[in-house]
Structure 1
Amino acid sequence: MDNPRHDRLTVVVAACNEAEALPLLHPRIRAALAGIAGLQAGVLYVDDGSRDDTWRVLQDLAASDPQVALLRLSRNFGKEAALTAGLDRVGQGAAMILDADGQDPPELIPEFVARWREGWDDVYGTRIEREGDGWVRRGAAAVFYRLIGRLSPTPVPADTGDYRLLSPRALAALRQLRERHRFMKGLFGWIGFRRVALPYRRSPRLAGRSKFGLWRLWNFALEGITSFSTAPLRVATYIGLLSALAAFVGGVAIMAKTLVWGDRVAGWPTMMVVILFLGGVQLIALGLIGEYLGRLYDEAKQRPLYLVDAWHPAAAGVSFAQEQPADGGAHAHGTSTAGRQAG
């Protein structure tokens, strides 16, 4: 059952090469949390294998704020795995997910908490405006969300990212999902429970440049579609059936033409176009099958979702979990330096 208490919250921030943005973001988070009455709150930063000064910046923040906890992964595992690592560490209360670039305003945290205290389990931010994004990026995002909304039976709200608050029972349910290819927006929708949207305007980045170019966004979209829908395989089947039907109709037409007008020399260009078209359709179908088989291959290996290099629990504030979900990764945390470097 859900914990009826609504007095504990952990803000989870996954960061990769965000040394410039984090010093600007943290004071805004602390100011937002300070304005919420009756809430014991802490901030958990996850360093996802940064190559700049992100870890040093996070250590400075933890040294000056006893309610800051730090988790450093052994390498860059990707944003989805970093978020999972952070949410796994939330021991009690709810979790609020923020991006490290500051585009999702921390000033709205009190509104998320208010919705949670009303009884909602998943309070998610829905963008009504995307400042700082070009028209290509905005258009691609709009197409992706509407496409996956139609293809996937799992509800994935349009224009909604990871900016959300999850109740304790939503977190407990999410920890049971240990698949290796993690499309978090789909996982949030899959667990269900009571959900409500909170509209907001997304701001430009505080500093630096986005780590998600168009190519990474394309691969991310492919990950989401293949993780939560088998529609591409079904489309390939339909294309194959239509191609076979067209070939049958064409064959009958050629036979009728031969019987009526005789057999004249067939056009070589037409034949090559047909061969190349059918070969392309077959390669596309094989590629789709390969995408799904590759995911089965990764799942079968049962590797840990992430490895921990260093763990610094907060000196004060909310408590953090020490036991990790049994996902084949219990030994993955054996390298954790929690006992030696707790600060």
Structure 2
Amino acid sequence: MEHEFSLPIGTLLADEYRIDGILGAGGFGITYRARDVKLDIDVAIKEYFPRDFASRSNTVTVQPRGRSEVEQFKWGLSQFIDEARRLARLQHPNIVRCMRYFEGNDTGYFVMTFEEGQTLENRFPKPPQQRELDQVLEPLLNALEALHGAGIYHRDISPDNILIRDDGSPVLIDFGASRQALARRTQTVAAIVKPGYSPIEQYDRETSQQGAWSDIYSLGATIYSVISGGPPPDALSRVRKDTYVPASETARGAYRSDFLAAVDWALQTDSENRPVTIREWRRRLMGNPSGRGSVPTAATRYRPDEDTKTKVTRYFGGGGGDGSSPADTGKSKLRWPDYVLRGAALVMLAVFLI
């Protein structure tokens, strides 16, 4: 693979990492295969390179193309480094590990473990059996639960961002938080979404409506693609005219009925009708004897269980634009569970009578 702005093969970064090849390139960065010459191991290195307003001089140094791009280039770099810091603090066997980040050549880099394997779409060129899919999904759900617990959202889950190692274990790669933050600032909507896999709220540059439920939509679309031979219709077109054929129809009989119903639940266009947490979704997706039955409707979802705190927080604002904790914003409509309102009314009545 070649890229017109990539570092020359053989370039040595930080006196430790020798560039050996290019793994991928997008509008906001280039990912290299490199060799840690001190530890004698392969690594992956991601370089901050916003192609639309950056250029490379002297074959190595990265700089804004003009004075008007200096501020947004620096802002994007800060987001890039911040994402690396967050990932470096999180270690999980099914999430690509960020081992180090550094600045050089007037741009930023973070060093990740080099993961070998096939993408999910290449691993399953035809629909897998339920058992095979369950073995991949359980670790992925655990990984996402850990991410969300740390206040981080992947924002770019799709079949090509899930690698299956030789031992069969999956690993999430290529997070999209910093890329989307910069895309929103530069009003580049195409970089915020991946048609078929991104939920409708991701089309809006405002992120207050995004959260764990957004990643759930994307993973649901990924599952749908694997079992149906292609992703669901683009979310934007579904809002205009929904031509989505439910998984419970396209794959009926090939998978558990509650599993297919859970995929359809994740792919609701209205985020308020989706699962709020991975824990809530897993109960039906993976088959929970105590939770079998129809998927909860909007009228029955609000119940006093262990997920209530997350649900209430969601309606305060759910999800910062920088991948921060859901409680950081306050732009969503306030929606309290009925039992909370009744409790508040009783407290007020008791105070009045006293």
TM-score, shorter chain, exceeding 0.5 = no
Give 1 or 2 for the bigger CA radius of gyration: 1
Point out the structure with the larger helix share.
1
Q: Which one has more relative contact order, counting CA pairs under 8 Å at least 6 apart?
A: 1
| TM-score, normalization by structure 2 | 0.28
